[in-house]
Structure 1
Amino acid sequence: MPTDLTQLSANELLNLYKRKAASPVEVSKAVLSHIETLQPYFNVYRAVDPDNALAQAKASEARWHKGKPQGLLDGVPVGFKDLLHVQGFPTRKGSLATTDKPQTEDSPAAARLRESGAILLGKTQTAEFGWKGLTETKLAGVTPNAWDRQHASGGSSGGAAVAAALGLGPLQVGTDGGGSIRQPAAVNGVYGFKPTYGRAAGFPAAHNGTLFHIGPLTRTVTDAALLLNVIAAPDVRDWTSLPSDGRDWTDKLNNGIKGLRIAYSRTLGYLTVDPEIQTLVDKAVSELAKLGAIIENVDPGFENPAPILDALAAERAIRLRRDIGDAGLALLDPAIQASIEKAEKHTLAEVVEAHERRAALGATLRRFHQRYDLLVTPVTSKPVPALGTAPEAPFLSPFNLTQQPAASVPIGFDSHGLPVALHIVGAQFNDALVLRASRACETAHPFATRPFDSAATKTPA
């Protein structure tokens, strides 16, 4: 049996369970011990319930002993971003404006995972209400980067990304309303996948509505596909959720990318990128060509959609104010307060126009993907910043507007030893092709594992 169960993928753990070479109890104890050791230094989890997790693990162990696992992920530890409800845990959303009352029902993702027999570990730290790309809040403190604790972990799924990187649960569920899975995945060196909108059902409805995607952060592409096999399901509480087609998302992962038509846009036509990041992304794209893809340097042909997002922020601001009231608003980060005040100044006519422009952008990308199977870009435009500053990832939010599947794929490290990633975008509903291309990248250059042997000897952040 491997000496460090925390460093194994979900796929490897399931294979051990099948061979009775390890048990869910052994794995859960190892992960919980690892969380206890590293939590003071990385502040990854908002809440963990070890007793409940071990009770789940014992039940799973009994099922595996009988050769009758409950579901696809029976006995695999999972963490949930603290924007998602998990029964028995409060949903604090990184904010003093929330209650510590435990939730009485699971979100759809948590429900599907509980049904599959997964071990629900607890809640990972998030930016306040998922508003910023930085997991640093008045409620929860700072969650630093997995590779260098003097640098930012990004957000808003920063806790989930750091947990995945450090082996604090092989499967992590995050959310992405403008890059919140992909940006922290990129700066922490893990795989982050934003499925097509509605692929994983959500409830309650998000403040940013149909920009909000739910998806995996993992250390391998196969693990992300395994997690998607469980959470890619409709739920009656979410009328926008997509029907399940019974697909196995791990199927054909290893079919490669030979013959695929891939558009490479270095800037989307309006951005600037740090030269070192650009060089690393150029190299990664050249590797795609070596794998048989047909690469064409081309921009997708749309203007910076930031004005659309700015106008739609009015809807998010109004929903948030409604939910927390003026008393709650007074407890928010001043930067978020200012952002809400600015957003609410948009007129109804401007919001309606933003929706029309969003529809036009979606049509533009649908036409674009009639010619190209995939679009690739950088994820970040600048190196990972120090604590207190959000990493810049301006390539991501357009594809929340268009609801397309997209992934952040680790491709190496800059001269400061901090991760860099490639952004892979597919046509709406073609999640399988994004996963396949991601797996091709991983096969060519396996993702690095975070060495943390000395992590817990440094002064806590």
Structure 2
Amino acid sequence: MLDTPRRATPMDQAPDLCRLGASALADGYARGAVSPVEVARAALARAEACHDETNAFVLIDADRALEQARASEARWRAGAPLSPVDGVPATIKDIVAVAGWPARYGSHATDPAPQAADAPAVARMRAAGLTFLGLTATPEFGWKAVTDGGTSGGVVNPWDRALTAGGSSGGAGAAAAFGAGVFHLGTDGGGSIRIPSAFCGICGIKPTFGRVAAFPASPFGTVAHLGPMTRRAEDMEAMLAVMAGRDLADWLQGEGRLPALSTEEFALDGARLGVWRTPPSGALDRDVAAAFDAALATLVDAGAELVEIELPMVSELLGIFKAHWYAGAAARLSTLDAQARAAVDPGMQAIAAEAERGSVVDYLAAVSARAAFGAAMDRLAEGLDLIVSPAVAVPPFKAGEEVPPGSGLPRWIEWAGFSYPINLSQQPAASMPMGRTRSGAPLGLQAIAGRGRDARVCAFARAWQALRPESFL
């Protein structure tokens, strides 16, 4: 780990109630030592403070949150909570439907009317008795890996307001790091959970595709996933258990026959870990490389065996992903009239226009190439316990920029080379705190497993947290 002095963290000023994880809250609720209403009030105050400092929220609904918290308090007093996480405060990204709230997708071009029904993952969270604080910010339609433009106004990093929080779940990342709630629902189509998790110093998992139901289907297709973002590994795992499950509204989910989620332990001693060092696009920053080397040394000291790997079809991956992502952007903008489309982020307009200049034959060729890559990744994963890599090749950079200044990169995708391949392969992948740059900005370690092995990724996250507790908020 890089030798950096102790610096302030986003949690330094958080009240005690906002420092507790889901298990500690549930224990307090069950004993009557703490009330869901007290916790909701503290979380709402923290959300307001977080928004003032980072611009993380597009909606905070105190009245509804307190109503839900009072109902939770009554259930705990009666000894009949809806779930072990009843009354835990949560936020939802403004790209997922919540009944009674608008879903603006970060864009002024969308309908501001309240949604009539919850998305499947939100419905599961509601059925578990969670307290919904509000909606977190996203760039327009979640199209890029930084959170600015549209309705967000621009989310800055809670560690350093000059830096980006990442995206597209940047509001969720900032809220989690600030202690404004325990559970935060994000989405990930090319790194949109893992990138802000790395930049904000928290945990986030992109589950196996189909683990969490999605409805309506994303215009970006089957690269898009829903997943949890939290400060701690155990909360990430607990939230995934709440969100996961089959919903007949999501046909793309298939029959939902993934291995059941269960609590596992990950034994680092003797584990065979594939080491992925080089992204298919962009360059690896020296601070990230140094922190990754230090992480690998920690894993070796714990008894892990490291196996250097390269991704299959590496020279093709950027083009394959662009074909899928750009087509998704074009599909989303095709639903807008000319006036609304002209007001959308110019970058999204540009990639949509590029897709529209292509052919259906080219797109289908990319679909076939993706299938070949996914099968190769399935084979690679079979011979390893996990694959580890940096979560992002670059540290957090200047807020308001799509790419690191001076990098010469044309689009965010080029610097997101450790994330978008795993959207193509649909494998579970989590980012967790790895250390800091020399200036103190957070960095993330990524763990990837074979499809369906989400529990293994969560178990590794807990094992890593036990090795590096000082890196976690």
TM bucket by the smaller chain? over 0.9
Distance 1:101 1:368 in 2: 46
Correspondence for 1:259: 270
Query: Which of 75, 91, 99 does residue 111 from structure 2 map onto?
Result: 99
Correspondence for 1:275: 286
Query: Which of 418, 428, 433 does residue 405 from structure 1 map onto?
Result: 428
Alignment of 1:379-418 (within 5 A): 379-390=391-402, 392-418=415-441
User: Does structure 1 residue 175 correspond to structure 2 residue 187?
Assistant: yes
Distance 2:186 2:219 in 1: 15
Distance 1:402 1:47 in 2: 34
Alignment of 1:199-348 (within 5 A): 199-241=211-253, 243=256, 247-249=260-262, 251-252=263-264, 254-268=265-279, 272-304=283-315, 305-348=317-360
Cα 1:383–1:255 change in 2 (3 A) is: closer
Correspondence for 1:46: 58
**Number of residue pairs matched by the alignment:** 447
TM-score calculated relative to the size of structure 1: 0.93
* Other structure's SS at 2:190 match: coil
Query: Which of 403, 419, 422 does residue 445 from structure 2 map onto?
Result: 422
Percent of aligned positions that are identical:
38
Q: How far off is 1:140 after superposition? A: 2.3
The C-alpha deviation readout for 1:24-55, integer Å capped at 9, x for no partner, is 00100111112223322211111111111101
Q: RMSD across aligned C-alpha pairs, in angstroms?
A: 1.7
The C-alpha deviation readout for 1:227-252, integer Å capped at 9, x for no partner, is 11111111111012253779454x12
Q: How far off is 1:394 after superposition? A: 1.6
Correspondence for 1:126: 138
Correspondence for 1:162: 174
Distance 1:48 1:262 in 2: 42
Q: Does 255-264 or 95-104 show the bigger shift?
A: 255-264
Q: How far off is 1:73 after superposition? A: 1.8
User: Does structure 1 residue 138 correspond to structure 2 residue 150?
Assistant: yes
Flag structure 2 segments of 5+ consecutive residues without an equivalent.
Answer: 1-13, 404-414
Cα 1:271–1:100 change in 2 (3 A) is: closer
The C-alpha deviation readout for 1:134-169, integer Å capped at 9, x for no partner, is 111132201100100110011000000000000001
Distance 1:271 1:385 in 2: 14
Distance 2:124 2:156 in 1: 30
> Do the aligned residues in 1 keep the contact of 2:53 with 2:158 (CA within 8 Å)?
no
TM-score calculated relative to the size of structure 2: 0.91
* Other structure's SS at 1:69 match: coil
Q: How far off is 1:311 after superposition? A: 1.7
The C-alpha deviation readout for 1:342-362, integer Å capped at 9, x for no partner, is 121110110010000000001
Distance 2:152 2:283 in 1: 33
Distance 2:146 2:425 in 1: 24
Distance 1:132 1:268 in 2: 18
Distance 1:361 1:317 in 2: 22
The C-alpha deviation readout for 1:279-324, integer Å capped at 9, x for no partner, is 1101101211222221112223331301111222353134212322
Alignment of 1:178-197 (within 5 A): 178-197=190-209
Correspondence for 2:26: 14
- Partner AA of 1:439 in structure 2: R
- Partner AA of 2:283 in structure 1: T
Q: How far off is 1:72 after superposition? A: 3.1
